[in-house]
C-alpha cells in the first residue's frame, strides 16, 4: 500500500492555475502537437497548449540537459584568456513519460561518473521534472514493458497520474514538495485516490506486456552472444543508410563532437559541443585515416551494443528505455523489436542456445 502522505491531489479545474503559477517563476515546457502525428517539447503559456496524451516527442527532453549546440568555452588570444562557459536557466519540464524519466536517469549516471560533466550538472540542477503516467501504449514501436519502464522508478520532482476528477501526484523530491505545498492548487490525497491509483496500476498489468520474445534479464546475454551475428554484416549493412536519425532521437545517446569556431581575425572564438552520431562514417575515423567502424553494419552493431551490452557490463544499466523513437524515425524502417526477435531466433536455431545462461 503506497504511503498516502507522499501523495497530493490536483483537481482538473485547477490545472490552468497550476501551469500559470509554474510559468511565473521559470520557463515551462511540455509536449505539444507538431504536425499531424508528431509531438515536441516546447514552451507552453497555458495548460490548454499541452498534449497530455502523446506518443514520445520527436526529440527527448535530453535537449534541455545537453542542447544539440552548446558553447562551452570562449577564448581571446589578444588577452590570453580562456573562459569556461557554464550556462543554465530554470526550466520546468512538464508531462514527461516514464521512458523519458528513465532516459534522464541513465544520462545522469553517465554524466556524473568521473569525470563529472559540469555543463550537464549545472543545467540539471535548474531543471524541475514533472512526470505523467502512460495508461495505454503510445504505439507499436514502444517496448517500455520489456525494459521495465512502464511504471515510474523515481527521478522526478512530481509524478502525476490522471484519474476521473484530477491528477494524483507523487512527491519525489524536496523541490516537488515545495510545489505541492501550495494549498490553493493541491490538496492532500484521500484513501479513495490511492485506491483508484491501485486499480489503474492493476489494469496496466494487462495492457503493458513484454513486446519481444526475450525477457529483460536475457537481453544482455543475447547481445553478448550475437556479436558475430550475420545480422550486422548482412541485413544491417544492406538496409541502414547511415542517416544517424536513430541516435539523434535516442534519449540515452550522449556522444558529442567539439568544434573550435574562430572569428575572421583569428583572435577570438569559442569551443562548441555538438551532438555527434556513431552512425556517421567519420565517427570512428582517427588521424592516420584508419576507420574502426567503416562498415554501416558494424556501426549498427555498435549502437545496439551501447544499448544492451556495454552499459550493462560497466554500470549495470540498460541504455535502452523502450521509447521506440529509433524505430519510428528510421528511414530504412529498421525496427528495434524486430532486430531483437531475429537475433533471438538466430540464437535459438544455433547449435548451442545461449539464452538463460
In the complex, the residues that contact ligand SF4 under the rule CB under 6 A are 240-246, 249-252, 279, 300, 307, 320-326, 329-332, 334, 336
* List of residues 6+ apart from 52 with CB closer than 8 A: 31, 95, 132, 162
Strand pairing category for 69-76 and 81-84: antiparallel
Residue 7 vs 41, nearer CB to ligand SF4: 41
Task: Record the cell numbers describing residue 274, joined without a space.
Answer: 555538438
Residue 200 vs 332, nearer CB to ligand SF4: 332
Residue 169 vs 252, nearer CB to ligand SF4: 252
Residue 251 vs 311, nearer CB to ligand SF4: 251
Q: How near is the Cβ of 307 to ligand SF4 at its closest, in Å?
A: 5
Strand pairing category for 166-171 and 158-162: antiparallel
Q: How near is the Cβ of 203 to ligand SF4 at its closest, in Å?
A: 24
CA distance between the termini of the chain: 35
Q: How near is the Cβ of 328 to ligand SF4 at its closest, in Å?
A: 8
Residue 34 vs 239, nearer CB to ligand SF4: 239
Residue 224 vs 329, nearer CB to ligand SF4: 329
- Other C-beta atoms within 10 Å of 112: how many? 13
The residue to which cell 570562449 is assigned: 74
Q: Distance between alpha carbon 315 and the CA centroid of its chain, in Å?
A: 17
* List of residues 6+ apart from 237 with CB closer than 8 A: 295, 296, 297
Q: How near is the Cβ of 42 to ligand SF4 at its closest, in Å?
A: 20
CA distance 142 to 99: 9
By 3-state DSSP, what share of the chain in percent is helix, strand and coil, each rounded to 5? 35, 20, 45
Q: How near is the Cβ of 63 to ligand SF4 at its closest, in Å?
A: 14
CA distance 275 to 244: 11
Residue 273 vs 299, nearer CB to ligand SF4: 299
Q: How near is the Cβ of 246 to ligand SF4 at its closest, in Å?
A: 3
DSSP string, 117-179: -HHHHHHHHTEEEEEE--SS---TT--TTTTT-SS--S--SEEEEE-SSEEEEEE-SHHHHHH
Amino acid at each position: 500500500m503506497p504511503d498516502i502522505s507522499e501523495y497530493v491531489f490536483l483537481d482538473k479545474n485547477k490545472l490552468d492555475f497550476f501551469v500559470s503559477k509554474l510559468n511565473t517563476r521559470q520557463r515551462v515546457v511540455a509536449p505539444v502537437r507538431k504536425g499531424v502525428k508528431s509531438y515536441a517539447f516546447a514552451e507552453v503559456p497555458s495548460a490548454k497548449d499541452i498534449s497530455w496524451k502523446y506518443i514520445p516527442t520527436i526529440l527527448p527532453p535530453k535537449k534541455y540537459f545537453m542542447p544539440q549546440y552548446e558553447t562551452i568555452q570562449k577564448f581571446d588570444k589578444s588577452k590570453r584568456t580562456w573562459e569556461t562557459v557554464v550556462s543554465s536557466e530554470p526550466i520546468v519540464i512538464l508531462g514527461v513519460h516514464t521512458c523519458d524519466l528513465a532516459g534522464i536517469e541513465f544520462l545522469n549516471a553517465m554524466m556524473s561518473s568521473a569525470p563529472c560533466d559540469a555543463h550537464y550538472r549545472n543545467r540539471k540542477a535548474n531543471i524541475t521534472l514533472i512526470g505523467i503516467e502512460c495508461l495505454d501504449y503510445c504505439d507499436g514501436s514502444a517496448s517500455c514493458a520489456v525494459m521495465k519502464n512502464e511504471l515510474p522508478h523515481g527521478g522526478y520532482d512530481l509524478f502525476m497520474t490522471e484519474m476521473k476528477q484530477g491528477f494524483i501526484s507523487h512527491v519525489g523530491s524536496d523541490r516537488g514538495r515545495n510545489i505541492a505545498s501550495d494549498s490553493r492548487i493541491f490538496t492532500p490525497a484521500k484513501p479513495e485516490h490511492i485506491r483508484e491509483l491501485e486499480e489503474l496500476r492493476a489494469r496496466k498489468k494487462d495492457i503493458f506486456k513484454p513486446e519481444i520474445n526475450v525477457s529483460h534479464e536475457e537481453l544482455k546475454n543475447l547481445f553478448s552472444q550475437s556479436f558475430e551475428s550475420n545480422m550486422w554484416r548482412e541485413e544491417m549493412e544492406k538496409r541502414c543508410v547511415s542517416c544517424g536519425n536513430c541516435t539523434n532521437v535516442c534519449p540515452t545517446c550522449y556522444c558529442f563532437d567539439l568544434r573550435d569556431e574562430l572569428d575572421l581575425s583569428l583572435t577570438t572564438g569559442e569551443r562548441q559541443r555538438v551532438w555527434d552520431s556513431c552512425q556517421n562514417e567519420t565517427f570512428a575515423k582517427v588521424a592516420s585515416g584508419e576507420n574502426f567502424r567503416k562498415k554501416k553494419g558494424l556501426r549498427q552493431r555498435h549502437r545496439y551494443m551501447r544499448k544492451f551490452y556495454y552499459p550493462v557490463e560497466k554500470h549495470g544499466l540498460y541504455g535502452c528505455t523502450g521509447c521506440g523513437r529509433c524505430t519510428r524515425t528510421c528511414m530504412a524502417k529498421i525496427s528495434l523489436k524486430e532486430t531483437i526477435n531475429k537475433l533471438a531466433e538466430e540464437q535459438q536455431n544455433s547449435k548451442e542456445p545461449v539464452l538463460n545462461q
